[in-house]
Amino acid sequence: MGGAFPPLGPLTPQERAVLDALAARSGRVVSRSELARAVGVADLSERRCDSLVVAVRRAVGADRVLTVRRRGWMLVDAA
């Protein structure tokens, strides 16, 4: 995948950073703390990371960002 996406609706810089971080780890579960560190929001509320993932899910499609309960999220290839 390599992080290449078709033009998306407007994403904030943090949302884009989440998408890029998930894309760089495509097919692998990324924990909340790992994602927060990669995006630079580790000092914010842990729920901020959740809301960023929700925005990314809206942009790329809910089926592309899987929630792996108690572990994190994973970006998957489009079917």
- Tell how many helices (H) and how many strands (E) occur in the chain: 3, 2
Tokens of 56: 């990314």
Q: State the pLDDT at residue 1.
A: 42
- Domain contains 1: no
Asked if the structure places residue 32 within a domain, the reply is yes
Domain with 23 in it: what CATH number?
A: 1.10.10.10
pTM given for the model: 0.81
pLDDT at 55: 94
From first to last of its 79 residues, the chain has per-residue pLDDT tens of: 444 555 566 889 999 999 999 999 988 999 988 998 888 877 767 788 889 999 999 999 889 999 999 999 999 987 6
Residue 27 forms part of a structural domain: yes
User: Count of domains in the chain?
Assistant: 1
Q: Is residue 46 part of a domain?
A: yes
Would 4 be classed as within a structural domain? Answer: no
pLDDT of residue 36: 87
The token pair that represents 27 in the structure block: 């097919």
In a domain, 8, yes or no: no
Q: Pairing between strand 65-68 and 72-75?
A: antiparallel
For residue 67, tell me if it sits in a domain: yes
Cβ-proximal residues to 6 (8 Å cutoff; 6+ apart), any chain: none
Residue 47 confidence (pLDDT) = 80
Structural domain range at position 63: 13-75
